[in-house]
Structure 1
Amino acid sequence: MNPPDPPSTLHFFVDEAGDPTLFDAKGRILVGQEGCSKTFILGKLDVEDPASLHGALEQLRADLLADPYFKRVPSMQPERAKTARAFHAKDDVAEVRREVFRVLMGFDLRFYGVVRHKTALLDYVRQRNEREAGYRYRGDELYDTLVEELFRRYHPLADQLEICFATRGNKSRTHAFRSAIEKAEARFEGQYGIRRSAEVAIVASTPPEMAGLQAVDYCLWALQRHYERNDSRYIELIWGKVVEIEDMDRIEGGRKGVVYNKKRPLIVDQRASQ
């Protein structure tokens, strides 16, 4: 008799880009002002072999830190606790980013993202305030809603689901995160009549400890550049790793919410139509 197949496992790493802030401490609107992101994006990255990815990024960082070309780069200095500690696309210099993307493109990765536009969120909050005088917007509310949306959408079935999410500031909201995941699984089961995973393990961690969080940060940064700066070259670079991007506030054909994927790319290559 052949031994049973080992249980299949999906490894997801979850992080955010931008921030959920709409108001300052005095309730004044920040949307549209300098320093306030236009969007809030949540992403998950399915990594086939997290250990190998971790080893490759650790080796890359060691090689770059030993390269005399980078010895005067501020973010590469150990005391700054930036690139010398973990790759972070916002902090890394362009030459480092190119090397990280090169490594990531060599791995089996699948990226999913959910995008909210703050102008649309602000309209929603105003409308809800008119209906409910006691309602107060909270950033954690938006984060939890996007976690549920991100995971309720289809992804491959597996016996085990291991989810690692980046801690937000000094907070580890594992209980709230788990609650959002359970709601997403229940919605999926109700919609499709099957449960995707028998076991779900959830941990909060940091990029230095989990290279998968460094990788999803890079994917999110690429997507954020498209939305915030109209710079699409990075998301085009990694588009082969993208499963889908759900833009929840975009309106097309009179319907709100657009999903971009391989059949419907986020960036249309104008050269292909010429």
Structure 2
Amino acid sequence: MPRLHLFADEAGTFDFRTGHNISKYFIVCTVVMPSFEVANDLLALKRSLAWADMPVGDYFHATTDRDAIRQQVFDAILKHDFSIQATIMEKRKAAPKIRPSDHRFYQYGWYYHFLHGMEKPLEACDELHVTAASIGTKKGQIAFTDAVRDVIRQTEGKKRKVRSSFWQCQSDPCLQVADYCTWAIQRKWERGDRAYFDLIADRITYEYDMFQKGTIYYYD
């Protein structure tokens, strides 16, 4: 298996406080696949849904798509070969020293995700293309991009040939696969809702609560 393709997304806010619409967890999620065939099926599904006069948008986005559309997206992507990895960070247990800035906290999650979660799914590949969904503003994206590239250089650079891209989710159907998987995992952790998580559970090779042994809460 000379080359694998990794698509990444994240879930959660960078607010380290409790409040309305503020996530309890920050999640880094990756989807590893050997081919892009799923992209063709998602484009075909979008056209089919449009023809059926279903409320489909410019691209698939799990947070805003209706349940009837979500189910068809999951049905489509589960016909293909891919694995899922997720690192879960309960933000109340994150010490201030590891979150001096948003991009540093983001980098922290990415580093431990690659350090502990990617050995098995990447063991057979000689080349790796990492594509991460853009995050933040265009100006702020530079810091997040640099953070991820630094992690990749530290963890993967000596093992295999690696390339990295940072694109808007709507630009690549494979990033929409990562979005859907990340959303399903977030629903489980934030709400205890396993309805969609159970659809992808057998694809998950790594799901780790990074701060599960932590006993200190840094805010209420």
TM-score (norm 1): 0.71
Deviation at 1:36, TM superposition (A): 0.5
Structure 1 partner of 2:26: 40
SS where residue 57 of structure 1 aligns? helix
Paired position in structure 2 for 1:13: 7
Q: Which residue of 2 aligns with 1:245?
A: 207
| Secondary structure of the corresponding residue to residue 214 of structure 1 | helix
Q: CA contact under 8 A between 2:134 and 2:169: conserved in structure 1?
A: no
Conserved in 2, the CA contact under 8 Å of 1:152 and 1:185? no
Q: Does the 8 Å CA contact 1:149/1:184 hold for their aligned counterparts? A: no
Aligned pairs for 1:193-208 (under 5 A) are 195-197=158-160, 199-208=161-170
CA distance in 1: counterparts of 2:169 and 2:148, whole angstroms? 18
User: What displacement does 1:136 show?
Assistant: 7.1
Are 1:185 and 2:156 an aligned pair?
A: yes
Superposed CA RMSD in Å reads 2.0
In structure 1, what is the Cα distance between the partners aligned to 2:189 and 2:99? Answer: 27
How far apart, in 1, do the equivalents of 2:91 and 2:191 lie? 15
Partner of 1:147: 110
Deviation of the 1:33 alpha carbon: 1.1
* CA distance 1:106–1:251, shift in 2 (3 Å): same
Tell me the equivalent position of 2:189. Answer: 227
CA distance in 2, matches of 1:234, 1:58: 21
- Structural mapping, 1:152-191, within 5 Å: 152-153=115-116, 154-155=119-120, 156-157=122-123, 158-169=125-136, 170=138, 171-172=141-142, 173-185=144-156
Q: Is this contact kept in 2: 1:147–1:180, CA < 8 A? A: yes
Residue 235 (structure 1) shift: 1.2
- 1:111-144 deviation per Cα after TM superposition (whole angstroms, max 9, x unaligned): 00001001112xx11xx4xxxxxx9721111111
The count of residues paired between Structure 1 and Structure 2 equals 207
Tell me how far apart the structure 2 counterparts of residues 211 and 20 of structure 1 sit (CA, whole Å): 26
**What is residue 49 of structure 1 aligned with on the other side?**
35
Q: Which amino acid aligns with 1:149?
A: Y
Q: With the length of structure 2 as denominator, give the TM-score of the two structures.
A: 0.87
Q: Give the unaligned 5+ runs of structure 1.
A: 1-6, 23-30, 77-83, 129-134, 187-194, 255-274
Structure 2: gaps of 5 or more residues: 216-220
CA distance in 1, matches of 2:99, 2:170: 35
